[in-house]
Amino acid sequence: MARFQKARRIIGIILIILGLALWAGWGVRLVITAKALYVHLKQAQAWMEEPPKPEDLPAVEAWLQEVRGEVLSLKREAAPALALAPYLGWIPRYGGDIRAAPFLLDMADGLTQAGLSALEALSPAFDSTRKPGLEALAYALNQGQGSLAEAREGVRQALRAREQMDVDALSPRLKRLVLKLDPLLSLLYDALSLAPEAPELLGMERPYSYLILAQNSDELRATGGFITGAGFVILDKGRIAELSFQDSYAVDDLRKPYPPPPTPLYRYMLAELWLFRDSNWSPDFPTSARQAAYFFTYGTGKEVDGVIAVDFWFLRMLIEAVEPLNVPGFEEPLTRDNVMDLLRAARGGVPPGRKLGGWWKQRKSFMSSLAQVLQERLEKGDVDFKALFKAVWKGLREKHLLIYVKNPRLAGFLAQKGWDGALEAYTGDFLMVVDSNVGFNKVNPLV
């Protein structure tokens, strides 16, 4: 009996030693896994911050396939260790990284799937045999909806994994990387969420028309500024089929009756008619957009599917994305540093030797010239689409770019993101301070 008990103790000790060895081995495996994932996530972050050039896409695809194969292999081989990871947070120095390993693997799994699917969808837009630009991008978006849906699901998986991760428990280096990835993941998910609506908005189903409100933020109004100009754009299968810009004063057909204006316009500006240029009186942009669209159609006979409002600050962001921009009528190229001063000078007083009537008709002709140059750059693909997308995203977040569309699905998405400039609905009374310049001047930069 004593001999049997002694043998049992020896076997128990051996099993404990083997268990500890196995535990340690899995711990080492998890550390190696976490370090490998750190390298891959760092490369993914670099490419999200600075997208590769079209000629580098085959190399990117090969890298993604290699990393994805490694990630899936790790998930299979390290499955026992991953099951233990939540209980290994106590390990000095690497405990937080080990505990996060399953979530890091899920992030890498989702992001590699998203990258490969997005490349499959968008690569045709950068095919050397196809003319680059907005039209090629529209066709790629239209044909690649299935792959883009897979990419969106991959990013969603990465976001779910990120939500379960205790970032404060990570090692400093890994924590910095994950925190840098956070805004990029949100931006990527927002972009992919717009993908299902993009073909319609780019005119792939039928020509889609937009009214562009050029708002002068030097003369502040509720939605961004006095409407100084009106643009009309028709997109047909990704191609800019029509683009025109005109002075906001030229939109109205004064042979027709117009309604009385909001009371403050009548009281302080003695306005007797409510005209297109003052249509953005409401601080609720969807309300102002519908009013502007109504007046535009009433005055010109042109129907619109959406309204886009931009102010001078967004124009500066846009110029920064495409600078330098050579525009007829300007002696020097437009850049982010000079565009505000040059535009203010372009709309200044009557130049010496010019008659008031002729100057008045041509005083905002620079808007058409600027729009035409931007159109040419877009059609040629002679733009940094990454910089352009960042400018649009920043403009939406900072409310220098507002969008209203009749498409209910996209309208709901814009409202969810707070990009439609809508006021929140309240059941009771509320107080809101709204600045609106009714002084016939451009004094706001000095206020």
What confidence score (pLDDT) does residue 30 get?
Answer: 56
Which residue in 211, 236, 378, 376 sits closest to 310, CA to CA?
211
Residues 229 and 160 in one domain: no
CA distance 163 to 181: 13
Residues 98 and 242 in one domain: no
Distance linking the first and last C-alpha atoms of the chain: 98
Residues 211 and 162 in one domain: no
Residues 134 and 87 in one domain: yes
What confidence score (pLDDT) does residue 29 get?
Answer: 58
What digits encode the pLDDT tens for the residues 386-414? 788 889 989 998 999 999 999 888 899 88
Looking at the domain assignment, is residue 15 inside a domain?
no
Side chain identity, residue 155: V
What confidence score (pLDDT) does residue 357 get?
Answer: 45
Confidence of residue 63 (pLDDT cuts 50, 70, 90): confident
CA distance 284 to 221: 12
Q: What is the mean pLDDT of residues 158-164?
A: 95
Q: Which residue range is the domain that position 418 belongs to?
A: 207-446
Residues 301 and 173 in one domain: no
User: What is the number of structural domains in the chain?
Assistant: 2
- Do residues 216 and 226 lie in contact, with contact meaning Cβ atoms separated by under 8 Å? yes
- Do residues 216 and 228 lie in contact, with contact meaning Cβ atoms separated by under 8 Å? yes
Query: Could you tell me the pTM of the whole model?
Result: 0.79
Is pLDDT at 100 greater than 60 in this prediction? Answer: yes
- Of residues 11 and 54, the one with the higher pLDDT is 54
Q: What is the mean pLDDT of residues 220-232?
A: 93
What confidence score (pLDDT) does residue 117 get?
Answer: 95
| Max avg pLDDT among 149-153, 163-167, 183-187 | 149-153
Q: Which of 184, 200, 216 is the last residue of a domain?
A: 200
- Of residues 154 and 80, the one with the higher pLDDT is 154
| Max avg pLDDT among 138-142, 279-283, 369-373, 380-384 | 279-283
| Max avg pLDDT among 83-97, 221-235, 374-388, 403-417 | 221-235
CA distance 105 to 91: 20
Is pLDDT at 293 greater than 90 in this prediction? Answer: yes
- Do residues 333 and 238 lie in contact, with contact meaning Cβ atoms separated by under 8 Å? no
What confidence score (pLDDT) does residue 407 get?
Answer: 87
What confidence score (pLDDT) does residue 356 get?
Answer: 40
CA triple 350-354-356, angle to 5 deg: 60
- Do residues 275 and 190 lie in contact, with contact meaning Cβ atoms separated by under 8 Å? no
Residues 185 and 215 in one domain: no
What confidence score (pLDDT) does residue 9 get?
Answer: 53
What confidence score (pLDDT) does residue 3 get?
Answer: 56
What digits encode the pLDDT tens for the residues 175-202? 888 898 898 888 889 889 888 988 999 9
Q: Which residues, at least 6 apart from 444, have a Cβ–Cβ distance to it below 8 Å?
A: 217, 218, 219, 220, 437
Longest Cα–Cα distance of the chain, Å, equals 121
Residues 179 and 224 in one domain: no
Q: Which of 151, 171, 200 is the last residue of a domain?
A: 200
Looking at the domain assignment, is residue 9 inside a domain?
no
Looking at the domain assignment, is residue 2 inside a domain?
no
What confidence score (pLDDT) does residue 324 get?
Answer: 87
Could you tell me the two tokens for 101?
């390993």
- Do residues 173 and 38 lie in contact, with contact meaning Cβ atoms separated by under 8 Å? yes
Q: Which of 148, 168, 200 is the last residue of a domain?
A: 200
Q: What is the mean pLDDT of residues 419-439?
A: 87
- Do residues 145 and 196 lie in contact, with contact meaning Cβ atoms separated by under 8 Å? yes
